[in-house]
Copies of this chain bind each other. A is one copy, B any other.
Amino acid sequence: MEFWPSANSEVDKWKEVQLVYQSALKEIGTKLEILNDEFQHVHKYNPIEHIKSRIKTSESIVKKLKRNGYDSTIENMIEHVNDIAGIRVICSFTSDIEQIAKMIERQSDLKVIGIKDYFTNPKPNGYQSYHMLVTVPINLSDRIVDTKVEIQIRTVAMDFWASLEHKIHYKFEGETPETIERELMECARMVSELDAKMLSLNNEVRKIEEQD
């Protein structure tokens, strides 16, 4: 059963929607914590550096619906905006991204309904990240609703770049000067190089370690 609010007024419906997405973020957050603890126990290593989560503001949701030609109804929000609930998983090495994605895929009560691999195929502006769209069942008092959450997995360096890009994009409202765009691309390249170098160094250390 997909989630549809049962309240009468639009304001109450939106509150109910927020509540359910907030619950979904809590459930996924708990699951990731448990997986990280287990990984740490078995492999003596934390693949997850830290986690941030957020509910999209109603302003951003409405903007996104408009941009895509939909009316601003709560039904359209739920059906057409996939990142109302977003959780960001930050890791140290690019190799962790795959590990974390696999751990999520194996969860029996999560359903992966979409993947966008901007890690292997960065966006034209340089954006790198691995996106998974999942649904998690939320037990309300009278029904269970499958709720969509977008999970973004990226390294510390990718996350730093993405924060700056977001700030710039927001400031120029989509009309970023070309010079700034070129600089951002250059920064994205440096981020990739640094990530590659740090990973190769980490692998080298592990190889020496295993020889001992």
Contacts and interface: CB of A to CB of B under 8 A. Distances in A.
Interface string A161-187: 101100110010000010110011011
B109 A109 contact: yes
Main secondary structure on A side of the interface with B? helix
Interface string A143-162: 01000000000001101110
A115 interface: no
Interface residues of A, number: 62
22 contacts: A15-B41, A19-B37, A23-B37, A31-B139, A35-B139, A39-B141, A92-B164, A106-B142, A107-B139, A108-B139, A109-B137, A109-B139, A156-B156, A156-B157, A157-B194, A160-B198, A164-B198, A177-B208, A180-B205, A187-B201, A190-B193, A191-B194
